[in-house]
Chains A and B, each alone.
Chain A
């Protein structure tokens, strides 16, 4: 069975600091997909990134970057020069994309990391 672990329950940093959110996953599949979602105080789940298991290239999007390492089963998320608006709960998630019934299964989420950016 798949599992996603976000060991950091809460992180608090001062604005403009860099911060890395850790994500470790477990799966028996060779084909799988990893995601990060942001949940701001308003409560909605905002999609940030998706990565498939065959693409280990790091990705950068503005102040956000992701480091995927299959060797350590990790998919870490770094925010550079953090801002107060980055304060939220961040979820890492895994989809094994098994084809029961002809399609992909749902997401298995980690417990989330509550990120607090202090001004």
Chain B
């Protein structure tokens, strides 16, 4: 299994531009999570999906952020318009049915380092 795959690994964009981050979860995993890591706030959960349905998006910072999961093998996190304070590492993670409850843990992708200038 290739694990959770995120693209791009690095993204540099100008303020005001639209940014789209992509994630392919592990096949068969029913849960998909988006996290953001910054020096100030650490690792924080933005949104998660169960069977492609968004369950909790309370961590999404603003309306400029949106996430979709059109099918079981693909999710996007979009920022429009981007701002310098959005600069962070964005991680995607997936988990089988039950996630931590079933004891399988969460597998993280390698992350996308976003820099907004």
A104-B98, A109-B43 known; A43+B48 contact, CB < 8 A: no
CA distance A43 to B112 in the complex (A): 10
Q: Count A-B contacts at CB 8 Å.
A: 84
Q: Give chain B interface residues in 76-111, CB to chain A under 8 Å.
A: 89, 91, 93, 95, 97-103, 105-108, 110-111
Given A35-B105, A43-B110, A47-B106, 14 more contacts at CB 8 Å? A44-B111, A52-B103, A93-B43, A99-B101, A100-B55, A101-B55, A103-B99, A103-B101, A105-B99, A106-B33, A106-B48, A106-B56, A107-B33, A107-B45
CA distance A104 to B98 in the complex (A): 5
| B residues less than 8 Å from A37 (CB atoms) | 108
Pick the contact of B45: A99, A106, A111 (CB < 8 A).
Answer: A106
**Closest chain A CB from B102 CB (angstroms):** 8
Interface size class of B (residues with CB under 8 A): 20 to 34
Q: Which residues of B approach A to under 8 Å, CB–CB?
A: 30-31, 33, 35, 42-45, 48, 50, 53, 55-56, 89, 91, 93, 95, 97-103, 105-108, 110-111, 113
Is the CB of A88 closer than 8 A to any CB of chain B? no
**Closest chain A CB from B71 CB (angstroms):** 18
Is the CB of A62 closer than 8 A to any CB of chain B? no
Beta-carbon contact of B111 and A101 below 8 Å = no
**Closest chain A CB from B53 CB (angstroms):** 8
**Closest chain A CB from B108 CB (angstroms):** 4
Pick the contact of B100: A91, A97, A111 (CB < 8 A).
Answer: A97
Q: Which residues of A approach B to under 8 Å, CB–CB?
A: 31, 33, 35, 37, 43-45, 47, 50, 52, 91, 93, 95, 97, 99-112
A45-B108, A103-B50, A107-B106 known; A95+B91 contact, CB < 8 A: no
CA distance A97 to B104 in the complex (A): 12
Nearest first, the 8 closest Cβ-Cβ pairs linking A and B are A104-B99, A95-B100, A97-B101, A33-B100, A101-B55, A109-B43, A45-B108, A104-B101
